[in-house]
Structure 1
Amino acid sequence: MTPMTSNRIILVTGATGQQGGATARRLLADGRHVRALTRDTTSPAAVALASAGAELVAGDLDDRASLDAAAHGAHGVFSVQPTPGMPGLPARYGPDDEVRRGRNVADAAQAAGAQLLVYASAFGADHDSGLSTLESKRRIEEHIDAIGMPATVLRPTSFMENLLHPVWGLRDGALATPYNPDTRQQFIALSDIAAFAALAFDAPDRFRSRAFDLAGDTLTPPETAAAITRATGQEVPYVHIPLDAIRARSEEAARGIQSLNDGIYPLVDIERLRALHPGLLTFGDWLTHHGTARFKALLHT
């Protein structure tokens, strides 16, 4: 990175969330000028970013004027929106809300003359899945393409960090999951999503108009449980949750899980990604550097 590129502003939306936060921290570590968009500039996460050198700006993805102000002078924009159904979101928040917010960010980036938009989509968004959680992201991708905004699309698989959450992973000392024991599930560390965003901003000519499915490892649920067991020294069994239990809460969630159990999506070419980013973490790497202490804390509560 040259001094000129390090001084260029990168606007990061969702800067206090999972992907946005990881991206902001990576860009700051790389010496970038990060403008972090958040609704609350006084939150602990926002204050931590400011302490690390980020420029905080208050804004809302539903408020186009605030996005235009935040994007003014930005060389690049990182765009991420919450997926409906995620824990902590209002029940009224749905796919159309996600699409509106994603389009707002893209439009603001284009109006500001940003050179590159990096959009955090999701694995499978380019397939005809019939799942609203993926269709919303495909609609955002299509809008970015339709307005001619120079962009790189990142489509991450399951986050390794989500295995720490009882909804998707560790629950009552076990790896509780609706995925079958032979399902090959792919994972990516949040830090690696951030690394690919940083690569795109560092070399926009190389990454512009490209989409990347992202994964760092491929594991079956029993293999995942065994890896956690080895890392923590505490037995973590794999417990299969019947799909009907998921279906009772959400038919769409059950269909999404069934599609992975059936193996309808091609696996991500991890070695191709590692050629671009040699530091790409396997699940074992992530446990060593990030996950083991957090799993141990959960197992001893």
Structure 2
Amino acid sequence: MTILVTGSTGTIGTQVLHFLQSHPQGAGTTVRALTRSPDTARLPAGITVIKGDLSDVDSVRAALKGVSTLFLLAPNAADELTQAMLALNAARDAGVKGIVYLSVFQGEAYADVPHFASKVTVERMTQALGLPATILRPAYFMQNDLRQNDALLGGGVYGMPVGAKGISMVDIRDIGEAAANALLRREHTESPLPGETYELVGPEALTGNDLAALWSKVLARPIKYGGDDLEALEQRLKGFGPAWLAYDMVLMMRRYQGDGAVASASDIARLTGLLGHPPRTYQAFATDTAASWAQA
């Protein structure tokens, strides 16, 4: 009984490992964490560290030996699609009985956003080949707004140009918990389970003005929405990563502004069933975040 977690040291992978370890059914399950830098990886005690990279298919094959269930998170890389498809083929060849793949909310609708389109293609691969996969489709992460601390605290501005249509943002803790639940359910069955899909979303759809008002309440100071300037966003993002990725993120935000990303009541109810509790609210995230900022 062995689970392999890819992307193990990143934002989502660390949450998946945490919830696997704290889950009542996690006892007796070996968890391997794939990382390019095992010597410097800070992982929970009891996790088996495996050196590897999704861009190195031989290392993926080696990591999959003896693995029964795979959590697949492909990085935001120019060859994300290739990495994910090769990993799935290697998992099939290795006889893995269960897969949990991290896709994206409303990927089918956003055909012009590269990292959305690649994830939809991977979903189609699992369906076409009948792979025993749980597809998790997270919306925009609430924790992305941790980068807003300077703008909120220093400038009194909520600066992410999310627009006025609304986004059902998801807490990364719900992503990690949902993934752990799905992984362990597949791990503890003798025969592969059929394919299934969950939208990982928050319980409310929030606009830029909604978020500014919410932060005003939580921080007890006036906060305004910074507007929908995508050119300024692209320039900021270029300071943190490659130009192609900055443009990819701008294309995503353009679609958020034009169409929104709003979950249905049935999406929320289905996720509640997987989690065993309602998804976390943005206000709860913001309240926790404001308290940690105050302590710092």
Q: TM-score range by the shorter chain?
A: 0.7 to 0.9
Deviations for 1:209-238, whole angstroms, at most 9, x for unmatched residues? 111121123212222233333333444332
| Matching of residues 173-192 of structure 1 within 5 Å | 173=155, 174-180=157-163, 182-192=164-174
Aligned equivalent of 2:7, options 14, 18, 33: 14
| Equivalent-residue separation in structure 2 for 1:193 and 1:12 (angstroms) | 14
What is the SS of the residue equivalent to 1:73?
A: coil
| Matching of residues 26-105 of structure 1 within 5 Å | 26-30=19-23, 31=26, 32-43=29-40, 46-49=41-44, 51=45, 53-84=46-77, 94=78, 97-105=79-87
Find the counterpart in structure 2 of residue 140 from structure 1.
122
Q: Bigger shift: 73-82 or 169-178?
A: 169-178
Q: CA deviation at 1:286?
A: 2.5
Q: CA deviation at 1:55?
A: 0.7
Q: Bigger shift: 265-274 or 28-37?
A: 265-274
Find the counterpart in structure 1 of residue 195 from structure 2.
209
| Equivalent-residue separation in structure 1 for 2:57 and 2:168 (angstroms) | 36
What is the SS of the residue equivalent to 1:74?
A: coil
Q: Does structure 2 conserve the Cα–Cα contact (< 8 Å) formed by 1:116 and 1:208? A: no
| Equivalent-residue separation in structure 2 for 1:208 and 1:199 (angstroms) | 16
Q: Does structure 2 conserve the Cα–Cα contact (< 8 Å) formed by 1:185 and 1:221? A: no
Q: Does structure 2 conserve the Cα–Cα contact (< 8 Å) formed by 1:232 and 1:296? A: no
| Equivalent-residue separation in structure 2 for 1:203 and 1:211 (angstroms) | 14
Aligned equivalent of 1:293, options 275, 287, 291: 291
Deviations for 1:246-280, whole angstroms, at most 9, x for unmatched residues? 47786654443232222265534323322332152
Q: CA deviation at 1:98?
A: 0.4
| Equivalent-residue separation in structure 1 for 2:165 and 2:260 (angstroms) | 11
| Equivalent-residue separation in structure 1 for 2:286 and 2:113 (angstroms) | 31
Find the counterpart in structure 2 of residue 275 from structure 1.
273
Give the structure, 1 or 2, with the largest relative contact order (CA under 8 Å, sep 6 or more): 2
Stretches of structure 1 that go unaligned for 5 or more consecutive residues are 1-7, 85-93
Q: CA deviation at 1:136?
A: 1.2
Q: 1:61 to 1:253 in 2, by over 3 A?
A: closer
Q: Does structure 2 conserve the Cα–Cα contact (< 8 Å) formed by 1:232 and 1:295? A: no
| Equivalent-residue separation in structure 2 for 1:295 and 1:220 (angstroms) | 23
Q: Does structure 1 conserve the Cα–Cα contact (< 8 Å) formed by 2:98 and 2:183? A: yes
What's the % identity of the aligned pairs? 29
Find the counterpart in structure 2 of residue 90 from structure 1.
none
Q: 1:265 to 1:184 in 2, by over 3 A?
A: closer
Find the counterpart in structure 2 of residue 119 from structure 1.
101
Stretches of structure 2 that go unaligned for 5 or more consecutive residues are 239-245
State the AA in 1 paired with 2:227: H
State the AA in 2 paired with 1:57: I
| Equivalent-residue separation in structure 2 for 1:142 and 1:265 (angstroms) | 21
Find the counterpart in structure 1 of residue 257 from structure 2.
261
